[in-house]
Amino acid sequence: MTAGVLGRHVALVGFMGAGKSTLGARVAERIGRRFVDVDVGLEERIGPIAAYFAEHGEASFRELEAEAVADALRRDTPSVVALGGGAVGSSATRALLAERAVTVWLDADTATCWERTRGSDRPLAKDRDTFDDLYDERRPLYAAAADATARDADDVVLAAAGVHVARGALRKLGELVPGDGPVALVSDPHVAGIHGMDAQLALGPRLAHAHELPLGEEAKTLLALDRLWQELRLDRAGTLVALGGGCTTDAAGFAASAYLRGIAWVPVPTSLVAQVDAAIGGKTAIDLPQGKNLVGAFHWPNRTVIDPALLETLPPEQRQEGMAEVVKTALLANEPFDELPDAELVRRCAAFKSAVCLRDPHDHADRKQLNLGHTFAHALEAAAGYRGLTHGRAVALGLLAALRLSGRDISRIEEQLQPTPVKVDRDAAWAAMQRDKKVQDGELRLVLLEEAGPVWDVPVPAEDVRSALNQLIAQ
């Protein structure tokens, strides 16, 4: 798979009965794309496939099928395309998939496929032994064509966004970073000491050099970025790999967006907040004294590599930091993500955010829901001078304010996140809120959570917002 997942179709391949049509329609709705079922389109054109097989033979059908796949994949607007089980038998189709699609293999076992197709009118599902032989024959073709393998809609969404979630992924980093050009590894001193050597070994001969950014929000300054830009020696075929928490991925991603007018980058998040939120979706930024994330760019990663096993090195307080973003995601999705084991928690949260960002890559519409509580959080962080108040604690407080303004129960926030008021200057926090990116024509627009789900760009009277902000600040 080459760079630029946002401009590529999502093609589902797999054996008959694997569930391509069902999952394809579901994924298309989740990521806001048109769904094309190649078999359905062919039947509208030629009538029942079984009858066409009987009259004209399989070879004739495969020619028509290859034309239909080509027509779908050559369209400029990315869509979700479900291919027939035998479509990958065409070398021309395989070449087109490699050129224009993120190809996802729905790898269902033969027993499941047989149960779903036996007794149907599918011309190649009449005899179990022949069915199994065909299954074995096609598996290598699916594997060779696929950029990712999926078991459910979440896996397909992650593949569409270029997000790879798997335990042990760090050890495979060299093969997961797209392309074959040189790599610059960027981390912070703490993460470099824990995971840096593993990352360097995994990158192998592709590693050109390694760099360090300061810890925490200090990474997100012009001074830190200036030093990194001056140290970088990549050409335009190079890739910047950002290994670390949200501050590292935010800063390194912005560095990649501007260096040589934009080079490829791959975030490898090591904290819970980065794995479920910060490293996904291509938002990159640094801070100014006047506010958080005021200078940045949308720069979608060529791939995001998430290894949930890295969370095992997190101290409890850092895990609690990340739980603020997990709870936020669970509230938006109305799903109990926060009750899942780590690996599944990360996968489900990452898939939710990936779907939202694919629908709205540049934050014009429903991606804004991901800012639930963050307008308050960023104001508090700015008022604290980005010292002494962690992002997770700030988000927990921001969620508290957003739910209060929404008229929603706050017990879940209080019980799980246990936010306590922070000691900052009230006027400084209010001034930071008024410089937030969500201000439109001088009016604060907030994300609120109604019974039916999140709503955004909601104008809220300034006195109500300030009152909610003041409740977050210690006397």
The per-residue pLDDT of the chain, averaged, comes to: 95
Give the pLDDT confidence of 253-268 residue by residue, as tens digits.
999 999 999 999 999 9
pLDDT band at 289 (very low <50, low <70, confident <90, very high): confident
Give the pLDDT confidence of 321-336 residue by residue, as tens digits.
899 999 999 999 999 9
Residue 443, C-beta contacts closer than 8 angstroms, at least 6 positions apart: 459
Cα atoms found within 13 Å of the Cα of residue 9, Cβ hemisphere only:
30
Asked whether the beta carbons of 165 and 308 are under 8 A apart, the reply is yes
Percent of the chain with pLDDT strictly greater than 90: 91
Of residues 357 and 440, more confidence is placed in 357
pLDDT band at 290 (very low <50, low <70, confident <90, very high): confident
**Rounded to an integer, what distance in angstroms lies between the CA atom of residue 222 and that of residue 216?**
14
Q: What was the pLDDT predicted at 143?
A: 97
Detail the DSSP E strand segments found in 424-472: 439-440, 443-450, 453-459
Spatial CA neighbour of 225 closest among 199, 257, 177, 266: 257
Detail the DSSP E strand segments found in 307-356: none
Q: List domains and CATH numbers for the chain.
A: 5-154 (3.40.50.300), 164-359 (3.40.50.1970), 372-470 (1.20.1090.10)
What's the average model confidence in pLDDT over 463-471?
A: 96
Residue 367, C-beta contacts closer than 8 angstroms, at least 6 positions apart: 281, 356, 357, 359, 360, 361
What's the average model confidence in pLDDT over 43-50?
A: 94
Q: What was the pLDDT predicted at 437?
A: 63
pTM for this predicted structure: 0.94
Whether 430 shows a pLDDT value over 60: the answer reads yes
Residue 294 corresponds to which tokens in the numbers above?
């005021």
Give the pLDDT confidence of 137-181 residue by residue, as tens digits.
999 999 999 999 999 999 999 999 999 999 999 999 999 999 999
Give the pLDDT confidence of 348-407 residue by residue, as tens digits.
999 999 999 999 999 999 999 999 999 999 999 999 998 889 999 999 999 999 999 999
Q: What was the pLDDT predicted at 443?
A: 79
Interior/surface letters 209-243, b for 16+ CB within 10 angstroms, e for the rest: ebbbbbebbbbbbeebbeebeeebebeeebbbbbb
Q: What was the pLDDT predicted at 1?
A: 41
Q: What was the pLDDT predicted at 56?
A: 96
Q: Could you give the C-alpha distances from 222 to 228, 382, 389, in angstroms and in order? A: 10, 16, 21
Q: What was the pLDDT predicted at 444?
A: 86
Number of residues that this document lists for the chain: 475
Q: Which of 16-30, 132-146, 314-328 has the lowest mean pLDDT?
A: 314-328
